[in-house]
Amino acid sequence: MNTETHYIQQYLAPLYTQSSTYPLKIGDDCAVIDAKDKILTSVDSSVEEQHFPKDLNPYYVAYRSVAVAISDIYAMGGIPESYLLSISHPQPSDLWFGEFSKGIEKVNQDYSLSLLGGDMVKGQLAITVTAFGRALENICERANAKLGDNIYLSGPLGFGKAGLEVTRKAIKMSLVSI
């Protein structure tokens, strides 16, 4: 059986991008952020069967988990830059982590992100992402919203939940027809 260190070194550490802002490689006790600006941070958890269907390809689990967390940085008018990743998995495997790390690599490329580190435990499949970003000139706070402000959406509301429900029903229907 492989250890936490194996999965980190084999699949996650190679995804780290060193820079002057993030000088310390994955594997230490903490991540170091050399910040000169206002830092925005947000944390989101994604739990199997609550946020994504059981047996979803780990590539999509990874991509979705990070995208959800960084969306909060964008929502406040910031630019996401990095994140910490915590993984709870009942039976990790090289196959699962191979696909998962491809999803991490893709989301990192798409949004110019750096994975700084994180944690792994054995348990129900759940991914927690703590995202960090830089604030631009104006931070968009909910408390400052007023009648007449523009609201921008990146897609229709409720489609994520609807997609999960459709997937669940399709799985149930396939079980019925067996």
Give tens-digit pLDDT for 117-168: 889 999 999 999 999 999 887 777 777 778 887 777 766 777 666 766 766 6
pTM of the model: 0.75
The mean pLDDT value of the chain amounts to: 83
Q: Tokens for 69?
A: 């967390």
- Residue 62 · residue 101 · CB < 8 Å: yes
| Residue 132: per-residue pLDDT | 94
State the CATH architecture for 4-15+37-138.
Answer: 2-Layer Sandwich (3.30)
Question: How large a percentage of the chain has pLDDT more than 70?
Answer: 82
Average pLDDT score over residue span 29-43: 78
Q: Which residue has the higher pLDDT, 56 or 173?
A: 56
- For strand 78-89 and strand 126-135, is the pairing parallel, antiparallel, or unpaired? antiparallel
Give pLDDT tens digits for 96-118: 999 999 999 999 999 999 999 88
**Range with the lowest mean pLDDT among 5-14, 30-39, 84-93?**
30-39
Enumerate the β-bridge partners of residue 39: 134
Nearest to 56 by CA among 126, 158, 115, 107: 126
| Residue 111: per-residue pLDDT | 96
Q: Which residue has the higher pLDDT, 167 or 16?
A: 16
- What confidence tier does 11 reach under pLDDT thresholds 50, 70, 90? confident
